Amino acid sequence: MARDNGGIIGVTNNPTSSTASGVWDIDSQYQARVGDNWPATLFFSKNSLRFNSASTDYLSRTMASVGNMQAWTVSVWVKRSELSGQHMIFSAYNNSSNNTECFFEGSGQLNFRDLESGSFMFQKKTTQLFRDTSAWYHLVFSSASGAQKIYVNGVEVTSFATDTNGSGTSTWNNDKLHTIGVNSTTSSDKFGGYMSELISVDGQTLTPSSFGQLNSDGVWTPKTYAGTYGTNGFLLQFGNSAALGTDSSSNGLNFAATNLTSIDQSTDYPEVNFATFNPLFPSVNFLSQGNLELTNAASSWKSAYSTIAVTKGKWYFELKVLNSTSDNISLGVCEVSQSLTAQYLGFTNRSYSYNSNGYVYTSNNSVGSQHATYGQNDIIGCAVDFDNNKIYFHKNGTYINSGDPTSGATGTGSLFNMTDGYDYFLSGASYNYNFAFNFGSPSYAISSGNADANGYGNFEYAVPSGYYSLNTKNLGEFG
């Protein structure tokens, strides 16, 4: 580096053998700061927005002007929670004969279509089914005159059950009502799940490479969009919990939020994918709020299992009781092959639980004496040490049986010695009551706020040293 540059390296720097280009002197950098001309830092959202169909959650905006209704692109990351019925991703509405929409069919197919003058100008319905509730999908939809395309995780979809391209103008980017998460035509087809980094680009037909890339393991991952947005383009990053429809692009096309509050902002996003409950194992229909709440109105046991199974490492999660109960809720872990479709957690020989009646169970038997009972608004914590096959429970921060999750092989206060060598789900069960799980991205308000040592998760009580929230980042390091 040449001495006459003052040793100041600018935002862009291309060193040569003797000098460095892109170098600013001190005064130039000072003037850039004062004049607010310093290059903006681009970033990908570290949030998502949780939609619950039963609450009719959605975002809406009526565009003030007409943009390009032939050439446009929408990019969004989605993680599904609900699978039955149609679930709208985005929609634009002029009237019942003129609208654009993109949604998941009840079958799991993805349908991207536009209706003009009562007839489909284009329609692309996939043969693929998208029913994985543990995964984030990156979806890109582009429309150009005579050519509409869908991309999933960086790959263009080429197999369609219905495949019609159109050359006319769509309703998207018209000066009409645009909605996210609901059918703007009928306010039906409500979306259930998570959305992250929703980008609409007016006037350009882009490919997924503008929004994502393959990492060193060949996995499609997000990257920051660095392009322009056009007249009606916008960027929804869901980073402002007080205004979830804020447009982070320079256009400032903010959307109004309906039935969405700060608690619907989630830190479950494509690069840090948290566990939720799995609605397909066993087949259940009583999950809500991003598959984090279990509601069971029946007088029989219903169990739910995490979307991520683990066999090693140390993991922490919490449960909050949402209504009063005496002895009808349990939490703990269950080995993958142990089916609990009609029994409580702890019924089988490789499931272990702490029940709201104060007892802990495995193999259909209580272990030891009764401990603290729990009920409405209580928060129960569970620290699972798969490296030493121990489980610890607390009620509102106080560990039962004087448990010490950091005691390692000693297992101080652990009431179980789990069977080694199996994959386990983090689990919960209910008999005519409901509760919410917190794997690190809760669906209920947290009054304190505690993260694990990697900075992930939002828990009511402190995460024990050496324990982590169950997400893909931590799983890659410790699981």
Q: Residue ranges per domain, the chain?
A: 3-34, 48-266, 287-478
| Residue 14, pLDDT score | 41
Q: Which one-letter DSSP state was computed for residue 462?
A: P
279 alpha-carbon distance from chain centroid: 15
Q: Identical fold at 48-266 and 287-478?
A: yes
| Residue 8, pLDDT score | 38
Handedness of CA 57, 59, 60, 66 (dihedral sign): negative
Check if the beta carbon of residue 443 is closer than 8 Å to that of residue 293. Answer: yes
- Judging by beta carbons within 10 Å of its beta carbon (0-12, 13-18, 19+), is residue 132 exposed, middle or buried? middle
Torsion on CA atoms 227, 232, 237, 240, rounded to nearest 10: 130
Give the three-class secondary structure for 247. Answer: strand
Q: What is the mean pLDDT of residues 75-87?
A: 96
pLDDT digits (tens, 9 = 90+) for 213-267: 999 999 999 999 999 999 999 999 999 999 999 999 999 999 999 999 999 999 9
314 alpha-carbon distance from chain centroid: 22
The CA distance from 309 to 328, in Å, is 25
Band (323; pLDDT cuts 50, 70, 90): confident
Q: Give the count of beta carbons closer than 10 Å to the beta carbon of residue 449.
A: 9
The class (CATH top level) of 287-478 is mainly beta
Beta strand residue intervals within 248-300, DSSP E? 256-258, 265-266, 287-288, 293-295
Band (296; pLDDT cuts 50, 70, 90): confident
Handedness of CA 276, 279, 284, 286 (dihedral sign): positive
Band (21; pLDDT cuts 50, 70, 90): very low
> Under 8 Å CB-to-CB from 179, ≥6 apart: which residues?
58, 59, 60, 88, 90, 91, 92, 93
Handedness of CA 431, 373, 310, 213 (dihedral sign): positive
Lowest mean pLDDT among 10-14, 103-107, 143-147: 10-14
Check if the beta carbon of residue 282 is closer than 8 Å to that of residue 303. Answer: yes
| Residue 5, pLDDT score | 37
Lowest mean pLDDT among 1-10, 201-210, 340-349, 419-428: 1-10
Band (42; pLDDT cuts 50, 70, 90): low
Give the three-class secondary structure for 477. Answer: helix
Is the pLDDT reported for residue 81 higher than 70? yes
Structure tokens at 373: 């009972």
pLDDT digits (tens, 9 = 90+) for 138-175: 999 999 999 999 999 999 999 999 999 999 999 999 99
pLDDT digits (tens, 9 = 90+) for 353-406: 999 999 999 999 999 999 999 999 999 999 999 999 999 999 999 999 999 999
The residue among 458, 464, 462 whose CA lies nearest residue 443 is 458
48-266 — its CATH code? 2.60.120.200
